[in-house]
């Protein structure tokens, strides 16, 4: 019996995927499920919860193809768990795996979806992993059950709450990891919004895309928070009377222009300041998202849905030290080693990426932090007017860096596990290949 059910499901998904190129009448629904862990389940160093965290799912169906965009308020999902969860979503939702974008908001104040003993800078938790898995499947099931006739439209606003993290230090004559207030380093202030509503105009979902590194609350390492993405999403949802679900995806990430830096000895005043910044930035991004949604000029009740995924393999490297203040400095009197960067050969590293097309909107997604200049180049290379670049997970590549940054030893260039000359061009070429196959 199990074999027959599995075979029937495989045939259903294959049939849906085979007809993905057709455009049909759109049905859509979204759901939000709380994943805030109880205090007794918090792994060290967490002791408290500042604001609730969620997993959100948007399911779109055109009668012949189905897609899902899922975002969890977590820093990252361990690669094996990420792949397995996509398989489970496919089975529960009748969705081809290539049409599933499973993303993390990358908040640094949440638990990693990984085993408790997995190590890493941010703690993992078996209990939390089960909680996120169950909530993800529940959100998808709720969205599939609630599918109804819908229409969708797209618009792009701007929010100037970010700055490049590579700051030129005249004292050290090099780039350091900071906040570039000169404006000389590129960032993309675009806030993209895919608006989904019922045929009568009732809100169903807003899919947001903005390039911010969610570290505003990082100075409070012992509390759970959705950071700026969580604050902005809840602002939008509450503005709709909780009729709409807001999914905040991270674009090619830059630093928040305003943040509280982590100190070796915490200052009690930092918490209140970080929380004020969190609220202010969430409010401003939420208001910009709502204003952008109101500016959507064309809503379509028909949608073509297609997706594809690929893997890029690159030669690996390990750079020591990384360009972080705690690892090196050339400043007089520094208590850490000088910044003499050395590359050693590392194992080959894989980038998993995909292209999900929802009508005239393309979502390019990859399991690495893509720097803003590469995100911009990718958008320029695509022969499409509407494109979001989504950092869906923090995988083994870590950072996808433009080739020009390697000799500058920016933080991203020292942190990436890929050697120069592979990632930037490889991603652009690969996404264009996926686009050609989808036509």
Only one residue has tokens 């059910």, namely 5
Spatial CA neighbour of 148 closest among 69, 58, 86, 209: 58
pLDDT at 6 exceeding the cut of 70: no
Q: Reduced to 3 states, what is the DSSP secondary structure of residue 400?
A: strand
Q: Please give the Cα distance from 126 to 105 (Å, whole number).
A: 20
Residue 261 banded pLDDT, cuts 50, 70, 90: confident
What pTM, to 2 d.p., does this model score?
Answer: 0.93
Per DSSP, the residues of 78-138 read -HHHHHHHHHHHHHHHT--GGGEEEEE---SSS-BBS-TT--SSSPB-HHHHHHHHHHHHH
Residue 15 confidence (pLDDT) above 80: no
pLDDT in tens, 224-253: 999 999 999 999 999 999 999 999 999 999
The pairing of beta strand 190-198 with beta strand 342-358 = unpaired
Residue 7 has pLDDT above 90, yes or no: no
pLDDT tens readout for residues 334-381: 999 999 999 999 999 999 999 999 999 999 999 999 999 999 999 999
pLDDT score recorded for residue 265: 73
- pLDDT score of 385: 87
pLDDT at 120: 84
pLDDT tens for 409-420 read 999 999 999 999
| pLDDT over 70 (residue 20) | no
pLDDT (0 to 100) of residue 9 = 43
Which residue in the block uniquely carries the two structure tokens 């080693």? 337
Q: What share of the chain has pLDDT > 90, as a percent? A: 88
pLDDT above 60 (res 23):
yes
Query: Cβ contacts of residue 45 below 8 Å, gap of 6+?
Result: 123, 221, 222
**Average pLDDT, stretch 65-90?**
97
269 class by beta-carbon count within 10 Å (0-12 exposed, 13-18 middle, 19+ buried):
exposed
**2 CB-near residues (< 8 Å, 6+ apart):** none
Q: What is the pLDDT of residue 267?
A: 81
Position 21 scores a pLDDT of 59
More confident residue, 17 or 83: 83
Between 12 and 129, residue with greater pLDDT: 129
Average pLDDT, the chain: 93
């Amino acid at each position: 019996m199990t074999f027959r059910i599995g075979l029937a499901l495989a045939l259903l998904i294959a049939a849906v995927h085979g007809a993905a190129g057709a455009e049909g009448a759109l049905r859509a629904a979204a759901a939000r499920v709380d994943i805030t862990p109880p205090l007794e389940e918090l792994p060290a160093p967490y002791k408290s919860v500042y604001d609730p965290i969620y997993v959100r799912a948007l399911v779109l169906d055109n009668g012949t193809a189905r897609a899902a965009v899922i975002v969890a308020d977590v820093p990252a999902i361990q690669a094996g768990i990420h792949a397995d969860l996509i398989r489970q979503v496919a089975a529960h939702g009748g969705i081809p795996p290539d049409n599933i974008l499973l993303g993390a908001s990358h908040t640094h104040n949440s638990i990693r979806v990984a085993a408790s003993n997995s190590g890493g800078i941010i703690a993992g938790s078996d209990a939390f992993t089960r909680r996120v898995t169950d909530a993800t499947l529940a959100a998808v099931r709720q969205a599939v059950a609630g599918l109804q006739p819908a229409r969708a439209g797209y618009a792009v606003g701007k929010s100037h709450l970010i700055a490049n993290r590579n700051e030129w230090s005249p004292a050290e004559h090099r780039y350091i990891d900071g906040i570039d207030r000169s404006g000389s380093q590129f960032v993309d202030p675009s806030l993209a919004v895919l608006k989904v509503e019922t045929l009568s105009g009732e809100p169903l979902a807003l899919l947001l895309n903005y390039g911010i590194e969610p570290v505003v609350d990082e100075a409070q390492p012992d509390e759970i928070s959705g950071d700026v993405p969580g604050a902005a999403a809840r602002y939008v949802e509450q503005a709709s009377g909780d009729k709409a679900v807001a999914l905040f995806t991270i674009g090619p990430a830059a630093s928040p222009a305003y943040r509280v830096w982590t100190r070796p000895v915490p200052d009690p005043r930092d918490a209140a300041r970080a929380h004020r910044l969190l609220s202010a930035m969430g409010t401003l991004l939420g208001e910009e998202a709502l204003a952008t949604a109101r500016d959507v000029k064309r809503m379509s009740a028909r949608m073509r849905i297609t997706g594809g995924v690929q893997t890029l393999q690159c030669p690996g490297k390990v750079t020591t030290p990384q360009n972080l203040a705690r690892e090196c400095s050339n400043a007089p009197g520094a208590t850490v080693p000088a910044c003499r960067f050395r590359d050693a050969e590392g194992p080959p590293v894989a980038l998993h990426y995909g292209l999900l097309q929802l009508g005239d909107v393309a979502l390019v997604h990859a399991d690495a932090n893509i720097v803003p200049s590469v995100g911009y180049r990718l958008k320029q290379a695509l022969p499409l007017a509407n494109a979001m670049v989504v950092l869906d997970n923090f995988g083994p590549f870590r950072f996808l860096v433009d080739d020009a940054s390697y000799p500058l030893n920016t933080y991203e260039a020292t942190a990436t596990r890929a050697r120069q000359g592979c990632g930037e061009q490889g991603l652009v070429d690969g996404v264009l290949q996926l686009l050609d196959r989808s036509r």
